[in-house]
Structure 1
Amino acid sequence: MAGARKLLIVAHAPSPNTETLRNAVAEGARHPDIENVEVRVLPPLEAGPDDVLACDAIILGTTENLGYMSGALKDFFDRSYYPCLEKTQGLPFAFYIRAGHDGTGTRRAIESITTGLRWRLLQEPLICRGEYRDEFEEQCRELGMYVAASLDAGLL
Protein backbone atom coordinates (compact mmCIF):
# COMPACT_ATOMS: atom_id res chain seq x y z
CA MET A 1 0.00 0.00 0.00
CA ALA A 2 1.96 2.98 -1.21
CA GLY A 3 1.18 6.06 0.86
CA ALA A 4 -0.74 4.05 3.45
CA ARG A 5 -0.97 5.30 7.02
CA LYS A 6 0.83 3.03 9.47
CA LEU A 7 -0.75 1.58 12.59
CA LEU A 8 1.52 -0.24 15.02
CA ILE A 9 0.06 -2.69 17.53
CA VAL A 10 2.45 -3.61 20.35
CA ALA A 11 0.78 -6.16 22.59
CA HIS A 12 1.95 -8.67 25.16
CA ALA A 13 0.04 -11.93 24.63
CA PRO A 14 1.39 -14.66 26.93
CA SER A 15 -1.78 -16.80 26.94
CA PRO A 16 -4.38 -18.04 24.46
CA ASN A 17 -6.90 -15.50 25.78
CA THR A 18 -4.55 -12.53 25.46
CA GLU A 19 -3.48 -13.75 22.03
CA THR A 20 -7.16 -13.81 21.05
CA LEU A 21 -7.55 -10.21 22.24
CA ARG A 22 -4.45 -9.06 20.34
CA ASN A 23 -5.74 -10.79 17.20
CA ALA A 24 -9.15 -9.16 17.65
CA VAL A 25 -7.51 -5.70 17.76
CA ALA A 26 -5.62 -6.51 14.56
CA GLU A 27 -8.73 -7.94 12.90
CA GLY A 28 -10.68 -4.77 13.66
CA ALA A 29 -7.84 -2.62 12.34
CA ARG A 30 -7.81 -4.68 9.13
CA HIS A 31 -11.55 -4.35 8.51
CA PRO A 32 -12.21 -4.57 4.75
CA ASP A 33 -13.74 -1.06 4.68
CA ILE A 34 -10.46 0.43 5.93
CA GLU A 35 -8.46 0.84 2.76
CA ASN A 36 -5.40 2.98 3.40
CA VAL A 37 -3.95 1.66 6.66
CA GLU A 38 -1.07 -0.75 6.97
CA VAL A 39 -1.26 -2.70 10.24
CA ARG A 40 1.83 -4.12 11.88
CA VAL A 41 1.59 -6.31 14.99
CA LEU A 42 4.64 -6.91 17.18
CA PRO A 43 5.24 -8.37 20.60
CA PRO A 44 6.86 -5.81 22.93
CA LEU A 45 10.19 -7.61 23.06
CA GLU A 46 10.48 -7.36 19.25
CA ALA A 47 9.24 -3.78 18.90
CA GLY A 48 11.50 -0.81 19.38
CA PRO A 49 12.00 2.88 18.71
CA ASP A 50 12.39 2.48 14.94
CA ASP A 51 8.93 0.88 14.80
CA VAL A 52 7.42 3.74 16.79
CA LEU A 53 9.16 6.37 14.68
CA ALA A 54 7.75 4.75 11.52
CA CYS A 55 4.10 4.66 12.63
CA ASP A 56 1.27 7.18 12.49
CA ALA A 57 -0.57 5.74 15.51
CA ILE A 58 -0.04 2.98 18.04
CA ILE A 59 -2.19 0.62 20.08
CA LEU A 60 -0.62 -0.90 23.18
CA GLY A 61 -1.85 -4.06 24.87
CA THR A 62 -0.76 -5.60 28.14
CA THR A 63 -1.70 -7.91 30.92
CA GLU A 64 -1.98 -6.66 34.47
CA ASN A 65 0.97 -8.16 36.32
CA LEU A 66 1.06 -7.56 40.07
CA GLY A 67 -0.81 -4.28 39.57
CA TYR A 68 1.54 -3.11 36.82
CA MET A 69 2.05 -3.53 33.07
CA SER A 70 3.82 -6.62 31.77
CA GLY A 71 7.60 -6.64 32.04
CA ALA A 72 7.73 -7.02 28.27
CA LEU A 73 5.80 -3.77 27.68
CA LYS A 74 7.91 -1.99 30.30
CA ASP A 75 11.03 -3.21 28.47
CA PHE A 76 9.60 -1.79 25.21
CA PHE A 77 9.13 1.59 26.89
CA ASP A 78 12.61 1.44 28.48
CA ARG A 79 14.21 0.91 25.06
CA SER A 80 11.99 3.38 23.19
CA TYR A 81 11.49 6.28 25.57
CA TYR A 82 14.53 8.46 24.94
CA PRO A 83 14.94 7.72 21.21
CA CYS A 84 11.25 8.69 20.74
CA LEU A 85 10.91 11.48 23.31
CA GLU A 86 11.49 14.48 21.07
CA LYS A 87 10.34 12.87 17.81
CA THR A 88 6.91 11.39 18.58
CA GLN A 89 5.18 14.13 20.55
CA GLY A 90 1.48 14.09 19.75
CA LEU A 91 1.55 10.47 18.53
CA PRO A 92 -2.04 9.20 18.66
CA PHE A 93 -2.37 6.10 20.80
CA ALA A 94 -4.83 3.86 22.55
CA PHE A 95 -4.37 0.93 24.88
CA TYR A 96 -6.08 -2.04 26.40
CA ILE A 97 -5.38 -4.00 29.55
CA ARG A 98 -6.34 -7.57 30.34
CA ALA A 99 -6.80 -7.15 34.08
CA GLY A 100 -7.52 -9.93 36.49
CA HIS A 101 -8.23 -7.28 39.12
CA ASP A 102 -9.06 -3.64 38.38
CA GLY A 103 -6.21 -2.50 36.11
CA THR A 104 -5.74 0.77 38.01
CA GLY A 105 -1.99 0.49 38.62
CA THR A 106 -1.38 -0.72 35.07
CA ARG A 107 -3.37 2.17 33.62
CA ARG A 108 -1.57 4.69 35.81
CA ALA A 109 1.86 3.35 34.78
CA ILE A 110 1.08 3.50 31.05
CA GLU A 111 -0.45 6.97 31.36
CA SER A 112 2.58 8.20 33.30
CA ILE A 113 5.03 7.03 30.62
CA THR A 114 2.92 8.21 27.66
CA THR A 115 2.35 11.58 29.34
CA GLY A 116 6.12 11.94 29.55
CA LEU A 117 6.36 11.07 25.86
CA ARG A 118 3.56 13.60 25.20
CA TRP A 119 1.56 11.07 23.21
CA ARG A 120 -2.12 11.84 22.58
CA LEU A 121 -4.63 9.39 24.08
CA LEU A 122 -7.46 8.81 21.62
CA GLN A 123 -10.04 7.32 23.97
CA GLU A 124 -10.48 5.98 27.45
CA PRO A 125 -8.37 2.86 27.93
CA LEU A 126 -10.15 -0.44 27.40
CA ILE A 127 -9.81 -2.43 30.60
CA CYS A 128 -10.99 -6.03 30.30
CA ARG A 129 -11.54 -6.74 34.01
CA GLY A 130 -12.17 -9.93 35.94
CA GLU A 131 -12.87 -13.37 34.57
CA TYR A 132 -12.39 -13.67 30.82
CA ARG A 133 -15.56 -12.94 28.86
CA ASP A 134 -16.18 -13.30 25.13
CA GLU A 135 -17.34 -9.67 24.97
CA PHE A 136 -13.70 -8.61 25.49
CA GLU A 137 -12.97 -9.80 21.94
CA GLU A 138 -15.61 -7.54 20.40
CA GLN A 139 -14.41 -4.60 22.49
CA CYS A 140 -10.84 -5.16 21.27
CA ARG A 141 -12.02 -5.53 17.67
CA GLU A 142 -13.87 -2.20 17.98
CA LEU A 143 -10.76 -0.55 19.44
CA GLY A 144 -8.64 -1.63 16.47
CA MET A 145 -11.34 -0.59 14.01
CA TYR A 146 -11.79 2.82 15.64
CA VAL A 147 -8.10 3.72 15.52
CA ALA A 148 -7.56 2.38 11.98
CA ALA A 149 -10.73 4.02 10.64
CA SER A 150 -9.69 7.34 12.19
CA LEU A 151 -6.30 7.05 10.46
CA ASP A 152 -7.97 6.06 7.19
CA ALA A 153 -10.34 9.03 7.35
CA GLY A 154 -7.46 11.45 7.97
CA LEU A 155 -8.70 12.34 11.44
CA LEU A 156 -5.35 11.48 13.00
Structure 2
Amino acid sequence: MKTLLIVAHTPSANTLALREAAERGARHPEIEAVEVVVKPPLEAGPEDVLACDAILLGTTENLGYMSGALKDFFDRSYYPLLEEKRGLPCALYVRAGLDGTGTHRAVEGIVGGMGWKWVQAPLILHGEWQEAFLEQVEELAMSLAAGLDAGIL
Protein backbone atom coordinates (compact mmCIF):
# COMPACT_ATOMS: atom_id res chain seq x y z
CA MET A 1 0.00 0.00 0.00
CA LYS A 2 1.32 3.43 -0.97
CA THR A 3 0.45 6.70 0.78
CA LEU A 4 -0.47 10.00 -0.83
CA LEU A 5 -0.27 12.98 1.52
CA ILE A 6 -2.40 16.01 0.70
CA VAL A 7 -1.30 19.18 2.50
CA ALA A 8 -3.64 22.01 1.60
CA HIS A 9 -4.47 25.39 3.11
CA THR A 10 -8.23 26.02 3.14
CA PRO A 11 -9.11 29.46 4.55
CA SER A 12 -12.32 29.82 2.52
CA ALA A 13 -15.27 27.78 1.28
CA ASN A 14 -13.77 27.73 -2.21
CA THR A 15 -10.35 26.51 -1.09
CA LEU A 16 -12.02 23.88 1.09
CA ALA A 17 -13.95 22.74 -1.99
CA LEU A 18 -10.64 22.46 -3.85
CA ARG A 19 -9.14 20.30 -1.12
CA GLU A 20 -12.25 18.12 -1.11
CA ALA A 21 -11.96 17.77 -4.89
CA ALA A 22 -8.34 16.67 -4.46
CA GLU A 23 -9.36 14.10 -1.90
CA ARG A 24 -12.19 12.87 -4.13
CA GLY A 25 -9.80 12.44 -7.05
CA ALA A 26 -7.18 10.67 -4.97
CA ARG A 27 -9.81 8.28 -3.58
CA HIS A 28 -11.21 7.36 -7.00
CA PRO A 29 -12.78 3.88 -6.71
CA GLU A 30 -10.46 2.39 -9.34
CA ILE A 31 -7.39 3.38 -7.30
CA GLU A 32 -7.07 0.51 -4.88
CA ALA A 33 -3.58 0.44 -3.40
CA VAL A 34 -3.23 4.05 -2.23
CA GLU A 35 -4.04 5.36 1.21
CA VAL A 36 -4.88 9.06 1.22
CA VAL A 37 -3.92 11.23 4.21
CA VAL A 38 -5.24 14.79 4.28
CA LYS A 39 -3.84 17.40 6.65
CA PRO A 40 -3.86 21.17 6.90
CA PRO A 41 -0.34 22.63 6.74
CA LEU A 42 -0.33 23.68 10.39
CA GLU A 43 -0.99 20.07 11.44
CA ALA A 44 1.28 18.31 8.93
CA GLY A 45 4.94 17.81 9.69
CA PRO A 46 8.08 15.91 8.78
CA GLU A 47 6.73 12.65 10.19
CA ASP A 48 3.82 12.78 7.73
CA VAL A 49 6.15 13.34 4.80
CA LEU A 50 8.46 10.54 5.95
CA ALA A 51 5.44 8.21 5.92
CA CYS A 52 4.24 9.13 2.42
CA ASP A 53 5.16 8.05 -1.09
CA ALA A 54 3.96 11.24 -2.83
CA ILE A 55 2.67 14.65 -1.77
CA LEU A 56 0.11 17.05 -3.18
CA LEU A 57 0.42 20.63 -1.96
CA GLY A 58 -2.39 23.17 -2.13
CA THR A 59 -2.09 26.84 -1.26
CA THR A 60 -3.62 30.21 -1.75
CA GLU A 61 -1.67 33.08 -3.23
CA ASN A 62 -1.15 35.60 -0.43
CA LEU A 63 0.47 38.89 -1.43
CA GLY A 64 2.19 37.14 -4.32
CA TYR A 65 3.49 34.33 -2.09
CA MET A 66 2.35 30.98 -0.68
CA SER A 67 0.09 30.99 2.38
CA GLY A 68 1.78 31.52 5.73
CA ALA A 69 0.44 28.12 6.79
CA LEU A 70 2.22 26.31 3.94
CA LYS A 71 5.38 28.32 4.60
CA ASP A 72 5.18 27.22 8.25
CA PHE A 73 4.90 23.58 7.11
CA PHE A 74 8.05 24.01 5.01
CA ASP A 75 9.87 25.85 7.83
CA ARG A 76 9.24 22.96 10.22
CA SER A 77 9.94 20.26 7.63
CA TYR A 78 12.81 21.49 5.49
CA TYR A 79 15.86 20.49 7.54
CA PRO A 80 14.43 17.26 9.02
CA LEU A 81 13.59 16.10 5.48
CA LEU A 82 16.46 17.58 3.51
CA GLU A 83 18.31 14.30 3.01
CA GLU A 84 15.44 11.94 3.75
CA LYS A 85 12.94 12.26 0.90
CA ARG A 86 14.92 13.20 -2.19
CA GLY A 87 12.99 12.20 -5.30
CA LEU A 88 9.59 12.37 -3.54
CA PRO A 89 6.93 12.76 -6.26
CA CYS A 90 5.03 15.99 -5.73
CA ALA A 91 2.44 18.24 -7.32
CA LEU A 92 1.02 21.66 -6.48
CA TYR A 93 -2.14 23.62 -7.04
CA VAL A 94 -2.39 27.34 -6.31
CA ARG A 95 -5.61 29.30 -5.91
CA ALA A 96 -4.37 32.64 -7.18
CA GLY A 97 -6.27 35.88 -7.32
CA LEU A 98 -3.45 37.30 -9.44
CA ASP A 99 -1.24 35.20 -11.70
CA GLY A 100 0.32 32.82 -9.14
CA THR A 101 3.84 33.43 -10.43
CA GLY A 102 5.40 34.43 -7.11
CA THR A 103 3.72 31.58 -5.27
CA HIS A 104 4.82 29.07 -7.88
CA ARG A 105 8.41 30.37 -7.78
CA ALA A 106 8.55 30.26 -3.97
CA VAL A 107 7.25 26.70 -3.69
CA GLU A 108 9.40 25.58 -6.62
CA GLY A 109 12.52 26.91 -4.88
CA ILE A 110 11.80 25.03 -1.66
CA VAL A 111 10.78 21.82 -3.43
CA GLY A 112 13.90 22.02 -5.59
CA GLY A 113 16.08 22.48 -2.53
CA MET A 114 14.52 19.40 -0.97
CA GLY A 115 15.13 17.39 -4.12
CA TRP A 116 11.49 16.47 -4.62
CA LYS A 117 10.39 15.52 -8.14
CA TRP A 118 7.57 17.36 -9.91
CA VAL A 119 5.20 14.92 -11.59
CA GLN A 120 3.63 17.73 -13.60
CA ALA A 121 3.77 21.49 -13.83
CA PRO A 122 2.00 23.29 -10.97
CA LEU A 123 -1.69 23.95 -11.54
CA ILE A 124 -2.36 27.67 -11.21
CA LEU A 125 -6.06 28.49 -10.72
CA HIS A 126 -6.07 32.23 -11.28
CA GLY A 127 -8.63 34.96 -11.66
CA GLU A 128 -12.26 34.87 -10.67
CA TRP A 129 -13.58 31.61 -9.19
CA GLN A 130 -14.58 28.99 -11.77
CA GLU A 131 -16.33 25.71 -11.09
CA ALA A 132 -13.86 24.13 -13.56
CA PHE A 133 -11.16 24.59 -10.90
CA LEU A 134 -12.72 21.72 -8.95
CA GLU A 135 -12.44 19.32 -11.86
CA GLN A 136 -8.86 20.38 -12.57
CA VAL A 137 -7.76 19.74 -8.98
CA GLU A 138 -9.65 16.45 -8.87
CA GLU A 139 -7.87 15.31 -12.05
CA LEU A 140 -4.49 16.39 -10.68
CA ALA A 141 -4.96 14.36 -7.50
CA MET A 142 -6.36 11.39 -9.40
CA SER A 143 -3.34 11.37 -11.72
CA LEU A 144 -0.94 11.47 -8.80
CA ALA A 145 -2.74 8.67 -6.96
CA ALA A 146 -3.09 6.58 -10.14
CA GLY A 147 0.65 6.92 -10.75
CA LEU A 148 1.33 5.58 -7.27
CA ASP A 149 -1.23 2.81 -7.74
CA ALA A 150 0.35 1.75 -11.04
CA GLY A 151 3.85 1.81 -9.56
CA ILE A 152 5.17 4.43 -11.99
CA LEU A 153 5.85 7.04 -9.29
* TM-score normalised according to structure 1 size: 0.98
Measured after TM superposition, the shift of residue 55 of structure 1 is: 0.2
What is the alpha-carbon distance in structure 2 between the residues aligned to residue 36 and residue 141 of structure 1? 18
Q: Deviations over 1:122-146 (max 9, x none)?
A: 0010000000000000000001100
Measured after TM superposition, the shift of residue 147 of structure 1 is: 0.2
Measured after TM superposition, the shift of residue 64 of structure 1 is: 0.1
Measured after TM superposition, the shift of residue 21 of structure 1 is: 0.3
* SS, match of residue 127 in structure 1: strand
Q: What RMSD, in angstroms, separates the aligned Cα atoms of the two structures? A: 0.3
Aligned equivalent of 1:103, options 100, 118, 122? 100
Runs of 4+ in structure 1 deviating by more than 2 angstroms, as ranges, are none
Aligned equivalent of 2:6, options 2, 6, 9? 9
Question: Which ranges of structure 1 fall in alignment gaps of 5 or more residues?
Answer: none
Question: Which ranges of structure 2 fall in alignment gaps of 5 or more residues?
Answer: none
Among all aligned residue pairs of Structure 1 and Structure 2, give the percentage whose two residues are the same amino acid: 67
User: How many residues are aligned here?
Assistant: 153
Q: Deviations over 1:10-68 (max 9, x none)?
A: 00000000000000011000000000000000000000000000000000000000000
* TM-score normalised according to structure 2 size: 1.00
| 2:15 corresponds to | 18
Aligned equivalent of 1:133, options 125, 130, 135? 130
* SS, match of residue 64 in structure 1: strand
